[in-house]
A and B are shown apart, each in its own frame.
Chain A
Amino acid sequence: MIDLTIDGRAVQVPPGATIWEAARLLGIDLPVLCHDPRLEPVGVCRLCLVEVGEPKLTAACVRGAEDGMEVRTSSERLEVCRRGLVELLLSDYPIDASGRPKTGSDALLALASELGADWPDRRSRSGETGEAPRSRTEPAGGIPAGQGRPLDGTSKVIFVDHQACILCDRCIRGCDDLQVNEVMGRTGKGYQTRIAFDLDAPMGESTCVSCGECEKVCPTGALSLRVWEEPPKDAAGSGNTGWEVL
């Protein structure tokens, strides 16, 4: 067994356990975006940063617990870093992706309010700055929006807003590793990187089997439900698929 302390409290974990798991044993809830205990950790969002007495901060979800480790989970420095990370993720976040119906939680926005983060779209829309609202399709404020990160309403059950995606890969792991439907992956490079269904097909035309796992694990409004609509009046009816939930 491995002995370590987290925020001054001692905890024992089996070899192979991560700092995040150790913290959870103590009931410490570290902020996470890309991690979910059901998934293999990938450590891409860095929200779970902790101090372990090294110059660099480390991601608790992937870093193994070590004997004698002294972990700090909160400090001014961590707070600043976490807020900074969230603000970066939100820097091109479209405000209409918020408040969409979801099975899971909209963890990104929840963290934003918790950390007091702010982001351009929210500022402009709320009229605080007098900036014109940014368009989804045209570059604004030096940040290139609309570079092939479109909306995809082709699935009958899940609405995809690529612009709201933070590439945490949770959906991809949910689809490929948990459900083993192996529909999802990534496509594109650089800023245009996005999640993809099959060989970048529209979701509704891909081999997706609508199990909903990707939507469930998505921590943003990028994948949301489109089911709060009326059931068809008649089974021959159109199925009302044209409704946009706003």
Chain B
Amino acid sequence: MTTTTLLGELKKRGVKVRRRGERLLLRDLHGALTPELRAAIDAHREELLATLDGAERSTLRSVDSVCPYCGVGCAIRYFVDEAEDRIRYADGRESPVNHERLCVKGRFGFDYTSHPDRLQTPLIRKESAYPKGPLSTEVRGERKRRPGGLVDYDEVLPHFREATWEEALDLAATRLVEIRDRDGSGALAGFGSAKCSNEEAYLFQKLVRAAFGTNNVDHCTRLCHASSVTALLETIGSGAVTNVFGDVQNADVALIAGSNTTGNHPVAATFIKQARKSGRTKLIVVEPRRIQMADHADYFLQIDSGTDVAFYNSWMHVLIEEGLIDEAYIAERTEGFEELKAVVAGYSPEVAAGICGVEPGLIREAARTFGRAERAMIFWGMGISQHTHGTDNSRCLISLALMTGNIGREGTGLHPLRGQNNVQGASDAGVIPMVYPDYQSVADPAVREKFEQAWGVELDAKPGLTVVEIMGAALDGVIRGMYMMGENPFLSDPNVNKVRKALTNLEFLVVQDIFLTETAEFADVILPATTFFEKSGTYTNTDRRVQVGRKALQPPGGARQDWEITCEIGARMGYPMEYDSPEEVFSEFTALAPSYAGLTYDNLGLTGKLWPCPDPSEDGIQVLFGDRFPTASGRGKFVPAEFAPAKELPDEEYPFVLNTGRRLEHWHTGTMTRRSRALHAIRPGPVVDMHPTDLEALGVEDGELVEVASRRGSIVLPAASSDRMLRGAVFIPFHFREAAANLLTIDELDPAGKIPEYKFCAVRVSPAS
């Protein structure tokens, strides 16, 4: 039987058949097979057998690249079917980062790039779609959100018309120039993206600074580690990690603070778990949820949300009281210890226990374990940073490391786990309102002169506004025009209802993205961009490892590379930016960023290099600050912090504490992962995690719908009973627009880091009728 007759026969019998290359996909097979058909299928398979091992693979092109998701930055080899222009599968490559390991997102989450929803033509908002506002009933907030829904294309697309690139780019540039010339540079702003490459980030901030003429350029680092970076810069003079996560194998103790590591940095977590399993490393986990990492821990301290300052102050109290500090290190390498000592004196474990809800004895024991370690590493995540006192939380962790001499040696260090694949790089490249590339202050006249010379224009001396401030300024009508490259603030920023008004209020908005996002509904012009897989560029992971992502697929239809689009807009605004390749952009960037000096595409090779890399024949410097800190005095500074409660505490009306975050299978606003077959199939929708006793008190069964409401909004979603939660606490991931956690969150900011308090607000939960 030929394959075609076989297919016909199977179909006749009601078997659903699809061909995937030589392979057959069959459904509803059961009972439909006669012996002849069985034999025919087998014969077909016999043919495949002839090409048993690797033959299938040898017809595929392999591309050595990295993962597009998290800051771990796993090295991946993609196997590409060139005829179909599709990635067939992904495999981990050998690299110091992941040693061939991957997580579910890296291994299975690449197919969003081939999704039919991809934008392929520039779009311009139709006359009839003005005055502006959200276009879908869901984003308007009028209709109950469709379960499992992404933006409804059928509802939104009719409000746009297709345009040529010429027309769309001209329109974008003309309107931006118009606003700039009429209202001044300060009326413009740009959101870059931590998903784009270093080159794209560099060009984006260059465009905003040199062509828009403002420092109003920021990206989602503001929403993840801005407070950590602020604290790190203030205390040790550098915002990056002091050691790579893999070095945990040489640590005696690893402290994990406010990080759901197995969910959000899964491959980094494997190394931490492995170190623990080897017997060398003791693991201390401090978290309000009994996360998976807690199952591996020697000490698990389930503190109440938002009480970190009190908790770590009491650790320091114990360490000082019991002489478990490194006097020599404190004397030689630090300053401000006396001030710190005075503050933490007030935080005995008994005092802290009253605040954090953990036994004082346990606090003491864990603190001693940390203090006695010869080498300790501290990892932290959003549980530390996303608070109105996020900077204080980070300051405490840094002080803890400084007083025990745990920075600058093998097996020690501070490691804020960076979230996005290129959040380190986008920050390094200057997509931050106060600094040029490599954290050079815009307020420093000498620095500014250097960049004015390099870019050939006069630059604004005033530091720009941050993400949430820009949204506020848009609402107030101060910001009139915006350019957004790959950000979706509608779902990612706190207090969605306010963001909706702010976006509506913008006179002109350009959105450059790969899918129609919620934010794009407010756009005047939408520019179809390329995914990670369709372009080359460098990405800097959480370890400071700069790696090359290599092009695997062709962009669909008329989609263009992000860096080219940025340059086109620049040229049309009268600021030509001409480059032949991302490589050329990279060398311009490295020339202006001393930390990246010496790095080239050639020497980055297959496994990349750590910055700084003074000798490009080596891998770069793994452990930083062995002798001195890059501060004015060369010393690390203790900055004490007093405990302050979160901005919105639970009360009778809103008795629960809402914590938001991510799930292993999904990424941020879900535009990518919800369009990936495997990831979507594993976790198709949102749930709110609650303690079983709380659910029982509400009379709600596991899986039933509840309404979660805060002072800012409300959502309805199924409840999931989880004894990993504390009583009185609820957890909602922010990926799902049909139950957007950020409708509930509060847009209160940390005063220093300007990061919103995503991890704490008061909510009410009730059965949804």
| Chain B residues near A228 (CB-CB < 8 A) | 20, 23, 25, 88-89
- Known pairs A180-B296, A212-B107, A246-B45; A105 contacts B20 (CB<8 A): no
- Known pairs A103-B89, A216-B91; A246 contacts B41 (CB<8 A): yes
Roughly how many angstroms separate A126 CA and B665 CA in the complex, as a whole number?
42
Between A and B, how many residue pairs show CB distances below 8 Å? 167
Q: Which residue of A lies closest to B272 (CB)?
A: A180
| Chain A residues near B49 (CB-CB < 8 A) | 95, 98-99, 109, 122
| Chain A residues near B23 (CB-CB < 8 A) | 99, 101, 228, 245-246
Q: Is A24 an interface residue (CB 8 A)?
A: no
Contact assessment for B104 and A126 in the assembled complex, using a CB-CB cutoff below 8 Å = no
Q: Which of B23, B46, B677 has its CB near the most chain A CB atoms (within 10 A)?
A: B677
Roughly how many angstroms separate A124 CA and B234 CA in the complex, as a whole number?
74
Shortest beta-carbon distance from A126 to chain B in Å: 6
- Known pairs A233-B116, A246-B26; A156 contacts B20 (CB<8 A): no
Q: Is B584 an interface residue (CB 8 A)?
A: no
Q: Which residue of A lies closest to B673 (CB)?
A: A235
Roughly how many angstroms separate A216 CA and B104 CA in the complex, as a whole number?
12
Contact assessment for B262 and A110 in the assembled complex, using a CB-CB cutoff below 8 Å = no
Contact assessment for B99 and A38 in the assembled complex, using a CB-CB cutoff below 8 Å = yes
Shortest beta-carbon distance from A227 to chain B in Å: 6
Roughly how many angstroms separate A113 CA and B104 CA in the complex, as a whole number?
33
Contact assessment for A216 and B678 in the assembled complex, using a CB-CB cutoff below 8 Å = no
Contact assessment for A240 and B42 in the assembled complex, using a CB-CB cutoff below 8 Å = no
Contact assessment for A210 and B104 in the assembled complex, using a CB-CB cutoff below 8 Å = yes
Interface residue from A96, A110, A235 paired with B52 (Cβ < 8 Å): A110
Interface of A is mostly: loop
Shortest beta-carbon distance from B518 to chain A in Å: 14
Q: Is A213 an interface residue (CB 8 A)?
A: yes
Roughly how many angstroms separate A101 CA and B21 CA in the complex, as a whole number?
12
Contact assessment for A106 and B676 in the assembled complex, using a CB-CB cutoff below 8 Å = no
Q: Which residue of B lies closest to A155 (CB)?
A: B682
| Chain B residues near A109 (CB-CB < 8 A) | 49, 52-53
Contact assessment for A157 and B25 in the assembled complex, using a CB-CB cutoff below 8 Å = no
Shortest beta-carbon distance from B593 to chain A in Å: 35
- Known pairs A99-B45, A213-B101, A239-B684; A133 contacts B24 (CB<8 A): no
Interface residue from A107, A180, A230, A245 paired with B270 (Cβ < 8 Å): A180
Contact assessment for B277 and A180 in the assembled complex, using a CB-CB cutoff below 8 Å = yes
Contact assessment for A229 and B684 in the assembled complex, using a CB-CB cutoff below 8 Å = no
Roughly how many angstroms separate A136 CA and B120 CA in the complex, as a whole number?
48
Roughly how many angstroms separate A208 CA and B294 CA in the complex, as a whole number?
17
Roughly how many angstroms separate A157 CA and B680 CA in the complex, as a whole number?
11
- The proximity string for B residues 381-397 relative to A, scoring 1 for CB distances below 8 Å and 0 otherwise, is 00000000000000000
Interface of B is mostly: mixed
Number of interface residues of A (CB under 8 A): 49
- The proximity string for B residues 87-129 relative to A, scoring 1 for CB distances below 8 Å and 0 otherwise, is 0111110000001111110011001101110000000000000
Contact assessment for A212 and B108 in the assembled complex, using a CB-CB cutoff below 8 Å = yes
Number of interface residues of B (CB under 8 A): 66
Interface residue from A103, A105, A178 paired with B53 (Cβ < 8 Å): A105
| Chain B residues near A133 (CB-CB < 8 A) | 38-39, 42
- Known pairs A210-B682, A235-B675, A244-B29; A125 contacts B89 (CB<8 A): no
| Chain A residues near B88 (CB-CB < 8 A) | 101, 228
Shortest beta-carbon distance from A159 to chain B in Å: 12
Within A187-209, which residues are at the interface with B (CB < 8 Å)? Answer: 209
- The proximity string for B residues 661-704 relative to A, scoring 1 for CB distances below 8 Å and 0 otherwise, is 00011000010001111101110100000000000000000000
Roughly how many angstroms separate A157 CA and B111 CA in the complex, as a whole number?
13
Q: Which residue of B lies closest to A156 (CB)?
A: B681
Q: Which residue of A lies closest to B263 (CB)?
A: A209
Roughly how many angstroms separate A109 CA and B55 CA in the complex, as a whole number?
12
Roughly how many angstroms separate A38 CA and B94 CA in the complex, as a whole number?
10
Roughly how many angstroms separate A241 CA and B664 CA in the complex, as a whole number?
20
| Chain B residues near A242 (CB-CB < 8 A) | 27-28
Contact assessment for B103 and A246 in the assembled complex, using a CB-CB cutoff below 8 Å = no
Q: Is A143 an interface residue (CB 8 A)?
A: no
| Chain A residues near B89 (CB-CB < 8 A) | 101, 103, 225, 227-228
| Chain A residues near B146 (CB-CB < 8 A) | 236
| Chain B residues near A232 (CB-CB < 8 A) | 675, 677, 680-681
Roughly how many angstroms separate A101 CA and B51 CA in the complex, as a whole number?
12
Q: Is A231 an interface residue (CB 8 A)?
A: yes
Which segment of B147-155, B194-202, B548-556, B561-569 sits at the interface? B147-155
| Chain B residues near A157 (CB-CB < 8 A) | 104, 107-108, 678, 681-682
Roughly how many angstroms separate A95 CA and B42 CA in the complex, as a whole number?
8
Contact assessment for B103 and A211 in the assembled complex, using a CB-CB cutoff below 8 Å = yes
Q: Is A179 an interface residue (CB 8 A)?
A: yes
| Chain A residues near B270 (CB-CB < 8 A) | 178-180
- Known pairs A239-B684, A244-B29; A180 contacts B274 (CB<8 A): yes
Roughly how many angstroms separate A75 CA and B219 CA in the complex, as a whole number?
64
Contact assessment for A236 and B26 in the assembled complex, using a CB-CB cutoff below 8 Å = no
Interface residue from A38, A180, A209 paired with B104 (Cβ < 8 Å): A209
| Chain A residues near B13 (CB-CB < 8 A) | none
Contact assessment for A106 and B116 in the assembled complex, using a CB-CB cutoff below 8 Å = no
Q: Is B333 an interface residue (CB 8 A)?
A: no
Shortest beta-carbon distance from B207 to chain A in Å: 33
Contact assessment for A239 and B52 in the assembled complex, using a CB-CB cutoff below 8 Å = no
Contact assessment for B26 and A241 in the assembled complex, using a CB-CB cutoff below 8 Å = no
Contact assessment for B678 and A244 in the assembled complex, using a CB-CB cutoff below 8 Å = no
Contact assessment for A98 and B52 in the assembled complex, using a CB-CB cutoff below 8 Å = yes
Shortest beta-carbon distance from B80 to chain A in Å: 13
- Known pairs A98-B49, A106-B53, A180-B270; A212 contacts B100 (CB<8 A): no
| Chain A residues near B45 (CB-CB < 8 A) | 95-96, 98-99, 246
Contact assessment for A101 and B56 in the assembled complex, using a CB-CB cutoff below 8 Å = yes
Contact assessment for B296 and A110 in the assembled complex, using a CB-CB cutoff below 8 Å = no
| Chain A residues near B670 (CB-CB < 8 A) | 235
| Chain A residues near B149 (CB-CB < 8 A) | 235-236
Shortest beta-carbon distance from B569 to chain A in Å: 31
| Chain B residues near A229 (CB-CB < 8 A) | 20, 25, 677
Q: Which residue of A lies closest to B107 (CB)?
A: A212
| Chain B residues near A239 (CB-CB < 8 A) | 677, 680-681, 684
| Chain B residues near A231 (CB-CB < 8 A) | 111-112, 114-115, 675-677, 680
Q: Which of B49, B53, B107 has its CB near the most chain A CB atoms (within 10 A)?
A: B53
Contact assessment for A209 and B108 in the assembled complex, using a CB-CB cutoff below 8 Å = no
Roughly how many angstroms separate A210 CA and B146 CA in the complex, as a whole number?
27
Q: Is B752 an interface residue (CB 8 A)?
A: no
Within B269-299, which residues are at the interface with A (CB < 8 Å)? Answer: 270, 273-274, 277, 296
Q: Which residue of B lies closest to A239 (CB)?
A: B681
Q: Is B574 an interface residue (CB 8 A)?
A: no
Roughly how many angstroms separate A133 CA and B45 CA in the complex, as a whole number?
14
Roughly how many angstroms separate A90 CA and B46 CA in the complex, as a whole number?
16
Roughly how many angstroms separate A195 CA and B182 CA in the complex, as a whole number?
70
Q: Which residue of A lies closest to B35 (CB)?
A: A133
Q: Is B362 an interface residue (CB 8 A)?
A: no
- The proximity string for A residues 164-186 relative to B, scoring 1 for CB distances below 8 Å and 0 otherwise, is 00000000000001111000000
| Chain B residues near A106 (CB-CB < 8 A) | 52-53
- Known pairs A209-B266, A211-B104; A244 contacts B682 (CB<8 A): no
| Chain B residues near A98 (CB-CB < 8 A) | 45, 48-49, 52
Shortest beta-carbon distance from B45 to chain A in Å: 6
Shortest beta-carbon distance from B523 to chain A in Å: 21
| Chain B residues near A227 (CB-CB < 8 A) | 89, 108, 111, 677-678
Contact assessment for B147 and A156 in the assembled complex, using a CB-CB cutoff below 8 Å = no
| Chain B residues near A126 (CB-CB < 8 A) | 46
Roughly how many angstroms separate A234 CA and B147 CA in the complex, as a whole number?
11
| Chain B residues near A125 (CB-CB < 8 A) | 39, 42, 46
A selection of 6 A-B contacts at a CB cut-off of 8 Å is A109-B53, A209-B266, A210-B107, A235-B150, A243-B25, A246-B41
4 further A-B pairs in the complex, CB-CB below 8 A; given A180-B274, A209-B262, A211-B101: A157-B681, A231-B680, A235-B675, A236-B148
Chain A residues in the interface with B (C-beta under 8 A) = 38, 95-96, 98-99, 101, 103-107, 109-110, 113, 122, 125-126, 133, 156-157, 177-180, 209-213, 216, 225, 227-236, 239-246
